[in-house]
């Protein structure tokens, strides 16, 4: 399976269990790796035979900016399911970063990584 990766998609969302997170929101960063067969697109040089990563990026940002959830696990699942709606995408790895998570000790990042497939 071939891979198309999008790294560092940024969007502001209102996800989290604390009222301040819901009210003020924060930046979330998303990395995606889409698994698909790119041979038909390469052979024909035809965008319609692969995944349009620009469209995927816009949809992921819409999910992050959309209805709030408590957990980044839920957010990652919603993103994965959106990606799998694209014909040809057989698998997706989603990493959601929450660099401004409400943690009381110094840290660099909080992430969740999930992999989902059509199977």
Catalytic residues: 98
Location of structure tokens 């924060």: 26
Q: Provide CB contacts within 8 A for 71, sequence distance 6+.
A: 15, 17
Residue 14 and residue 95: Cα distance in Å, rounded?
17
* β-sheet with 26-36: strand ranges across: 2-13, 26-36, 91-97, 111-117
């Amino acid at each position: 399976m071939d891979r198309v990766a999008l790294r560092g998609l940024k969007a502001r969302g209102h996800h989290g269990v604390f009222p301040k997170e819901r009210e003020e929101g924060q930046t979330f960063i998303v990395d995606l790796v889409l698994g698909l067969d790119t041979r038909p697109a390469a052979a024909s040089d035809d965008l319609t035979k692969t995944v349009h990563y620009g469209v995927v990026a816009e949809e992921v940002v819409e999910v992050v900016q959309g209805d709030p959830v408590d957990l980044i696990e839920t957010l990652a699942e919603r993103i994965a399911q959106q990606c799998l709606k694209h014909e040809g995408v057989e698998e997706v790895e989603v990493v959601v970063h929450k660099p401004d998570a409400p943690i009381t000790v110094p840290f660099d990042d909080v992430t969740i990584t999930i992999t989902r497939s059509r199977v």
